[in-house]
Amino acid sequence: MATEKPINIDTISDDNGDVMPQPSEFKLAIRELLKRPPALFGVFFILLVIIMAIVPWLFSPHDPLEQSLIRHLKPPGFVDADGKVFYLGTDQLGRDILSRVIWGSRVSIAVGVAAVFVSGFIGITTGLIAGYYGGKIDAIISRIVDATLAIPFVLLAISIIAILGASLQNIVLAIALRTWTVYTRVVRGEVFSLKETDMITGARSAGCGTVRIMLVYLLPNVFSSTLVVGTIYLGRMIIIEASFSFLGMGVPPPTPTWGGMLAFGRGYLDTAWWLTFFPGIVLTLTVLGVNLLGDWLRDVLDPRMKRLDD
């Protein structure tokens, strides 16, 4: 009796009839990533900055707060009398720039990630409601979105921070107050087209409640585009946090922040370029990394959003 091979849906055969394993989606994504050096750079740099933000003491050669007037404004590569090396130089209070850049990643990453989550939560909720109900509710939400977009964001945000006081959560709040609108618009548009599909009409006729339809059927379907938007906006949030710190409206000193370092260095543009160059280049590379990652995610997760860009 001939034994028939069971058909395995995970394997396909090539021309010779040999069975080849089908790579998993994760492996495909990794393979795709290896083919794109810019995205690969983005992933590596972001991972590095995140690890720096979580365990800065592993990387930081010196105490970021330790002052010393003897070694103030020393150029990169300076070695002091004890043989300690200051690779990126020191600032006007003699603090090590490299250590401050490493510790400064904490505020940037914390504010950026928290702002993405808070604004994503508000935006997805309002987007689901506006898209699902349509009509008057949609009109109200859309006008609020328009008004929010019309207000000069940085000015409103720094006023709110000044009124409430500069703390981590107030900064996140001030950023999220504006950026939720982006998610609202994306989710609203997607839900508009989704709610006419058989899936939703079927769920409704099967007696699903509104909340259940939103959470079980709509939410997973808008997830990938919100993830893409979230990644692209993470970079902007990091820039916004840095500009608040630069204007003196960020997390107050002595906590090192990239924007705060730039503000301090501004007074020494003619004599000590390293004060402004290094924090800024790390800030830029971080944002660049996030943007490259966002571009890649958009192509992988959301081919509909892909324009004729490449």
Partner 1 sequence: MRNYIIRGCLQSIIVVWIVLLIIFLMLHLTGDPADVLMPPEATNEEVDEFRKEMGFDRPLHEQYFSFLFGHKENLGVLRGDFGTSFYHQEPAMGLVTERIPATLMLAVASLFVGLVIAIPAGILSAVFRKSWIDHFSSVLSMAGQSIPNFWLGLMLIIVFSEILGWLPTSGYREAKSIVLPAFAAGLYATARIMRMMRSTLLEVLSQDFINTARSKGIREAVVISRHALKNASIPVVTIIGLELGGLLSGTVVVEVVFAWPGVGWLVVEAIQSNDYPVVQAAVALLSFMFVGVNLAVDILYAWLDPRISYS
Q: What does the binding site for partner 1 look like in residue numbers (CB under 8 A)?
A: 38, 143-144, 146-148, 150-156, 158-160, 162-164, 235, 239, 242-243, 246-249, 262, 265-266, 269-270, 273, 276-277, 280, 283-284, 287-288, 291-292, 307-309
**Nearest-angstrom CA–CA distance, 94 and 66:** 8
Q: Which two tokens stand for residue 112?
A: 């950026």
| Residue 134 three-state SS | coil
Closer CB to partner 1, residue 12 or residue 47? 47
Closer CB to partner 1, residue 47 or residue 140? 140
Q: With residue 183 as reference, give the H or E element that holds it.
A: helix 168-194
Closer CB to partner 1, residue 12 or residue 162? 162
Closer CB to partner 1, residue 101 or residue 239? 239
Closer CB to partner 1, residue 135 or residue 207? 135
Q: How far is the CB of 141 from partner 1 (least distance, A)?
A: 11
Q: How far is the CB of 167 from partner 1 (least distance, A)?
A: 13
For the CA atoms of 81, 82, 87, 93, what is the dihedral angle to 10 degrees?
-70
Q: How far is the CB of 207 from partner 1 (least distance, A)?
A: 36
- 110: amino acid identity, one letter: A
Q: How far is the CB of 110 from partner 1 (least distance, A)?
A: 18
Q: Which two tokens stand for residue 39?
A: 């995205």
Q: With residue 11 as reference, give the H or E element that holds it.
A: strand 11-13
Q: How far is the CB of 142 from partner 1 (least distance, A)?
A: 9
Among 232, 223, 237, residue whose Cα is nearest residue 115: 237
Among 66, 68, 88, 69, residue whose Cα is nearest residue 77: 88
**Nearest-angstrom CA–CA distance, 20 and 10:** 9
